[in-house]
Structure 1
Amino acid sequence: MTRYVVLLRAVNLGATRRVSMPRLREVLTARGYGAVRTHLASGNVLLESPLPEAELAADVSVAIAEHFALDVPVVVRTAEELAGVRAADPLGHIATNPARYSVTFYAQPLDLERVAALPPTDGWQYVPRGREVYVWRPDGLESDRRTERTWAQLLGAAGTNRNWNTVRKLVELTR
């Protein structure tokens, strides 16, 4: 069994795309996953499974479609991969507020040509690495005129973002 962190994209934002975390735990436990728990209502699930990452992501997505009638992209990392994301911390030397420092997780490695073509930013920084983009926005997310949709267009893939506090907590919970 592998310990995974399952990240759901764009759930429980306002009144739409609601996924009850207690119900999701029940659904995933009934599907045979072990040690299922959630963190916050923003779509963070920890579980154990023998499935490979891609199959797990697909199965969780199907479960959400069946039980919540939502098409939710799912990104998966092993506990070790998530610990590696935290350890890399390429902007930790400048990020003074973990609520404004975040990581966007992608299902596949980023296209290097698209990464190279990313435009310069005004007042904030980002570092793409493998399947993640680390982002430091000193003035907060609200000051960022580039929406996640724009990032998805620029990179050719949609990801799911977690602030540094959440990344650290998820790593702790996987231990």
Structure 2
Amino acid sequence: MATWVAFLRAINLGPTRKFPMSAVVAATEAAGGTDIATHLATGNVRLSSTKRSAAAVAKALAAAYAADRGFDVPVVVFRASEVAEIARRGRELEDEHQPKGKHYVTLFPEPPSPAAARAIESLDLPGDRCVVAGRAAYALLGGDIHDSKLLRSREFRALGEGTARTLTVLEAVARKWAE
């Protein structure tokens, strides 16, 4: 049985998208998950599953979450070992580029197209830089998320719909569940 980490998008935002972690655990069990744990109320879930692909796990979780909540919950799933690699690569990039602001990692269900990755990586925005590796886009910001021209750019939106976490959260998840 494989260990997976699911990252839920757009939960616990405002009054209509509440999804308490106890309900996440119950719905994850309904999807066939076992050995379930959560980290923070932002939708970071570790589970074991007999399903053999990230896409199959994500599909089962999304269906169970929608049935439980009555609204769609986009889910991005990785093997626990992949999360450790994403966090390791994020630390390398941060150490190399020393962003003055925040470092966010957007996780995608599928890798962005090579053309979209080239476009975002070639943007010349003072203080902001993005590196795409597989299903992760590392946004190294010169300031705050709310001031970022990079994150508001059409090039960033062209990468697709994903869910973002700070590097700090990804490192904590990797330490807890992937090492």
TM-score (norm. length: structure 2): 0.87
2:125·2:150 contact (CA, 8 Å) conserved in 1? no
Equivalent residue, structure 1, for 2:117: 115
Moved more, 144-153 or 119-128: 144-153
- 1:137 deviates by 1.3
Cα gap change, 1:149/1:143 in structure 2, threshold over 3 Å: closer, same or farther? closer
Cα gap change, 1:14/1:32 in structure 2, threshold over 3 Å: closer, same or farther? same
Equivalent residue, structure 1, for 2:171: 168
Aligned residues: 173
1:42 aligns with 2:42: yes
Separation in structure 2 between the aligned mates of residue 72 and residue 150 of structure 1, nearest angstrom: 24
- 1:42 deviates by 0.7
- The CA deviation string for residues 123-169 of structure 1, in whole angstroms up to 9 with x for no partner, is 211111111111111311121145569566322x1011000111011
Separation in structure 2 between the aligned mates of residue 150 and residue 160 of structure 1, nearest angstrom: 17
1:6·1:44 contact (CA, 8 Å) conserved in 2? yes
2:158 aligned counterpart, secondary structure: helix
Equivalent residue, structure 1, for 2:62: 61
Separation in structure 1 between the aligned mates of residue 155 and residue 48 of structure 2, nearest angstrom: 31
| RMSD of aligned residue pairs (Cα, Å) | 2.1
Separation in structure 1 between the aligned mates of residue 146 and residue 89 of structure 2, nearest angstrom: 26
Aligned AA (2:37)? R
Equivalent residue, structure 1, for 2:158: 154
Separation in structure 2 between the aligned mates of residue 96 and residue 117 of structure 1, nearest angstrom: 20
TM-score (norm. length: structure 1): 0.89
- 1:117 deviates by 2.2
Moved more, 52-61 or 119-128: 119-128
- 1:96 deviates by 5.9
Cα gap change, 1:64/1:105 in structure 2, threshold over 3 Å: closer, same or farther? same
Whichever structure has more helix as a proportion of its residues is: 2
1:12 aligns with 2:40: no
2:48 aligned counterpart, secondary structure: strand
Cα gap change, 1:148/1:132 in structure 2, threshold over 3 Å: closer, same or farther? farther
Cα gap change, 1:120/1:14 in structure 2, threshold over 3 Å: closer, same or farther? farther
Separation in structure 1 between the aligned mates of residue 32 and residue 72 of structure 2, nearest angstrom: 21
Structure 1 unpaired stretches of 5+: none
1:79-158 matches, within 5 Å, as 79-89=80-90, 90-93=92-95, 94-95=97-98, 100-118=102-120, 119-147=123-151, 150=154, 153-155=157-159, 157-158=160-161
Aligned AA (2:111)? P
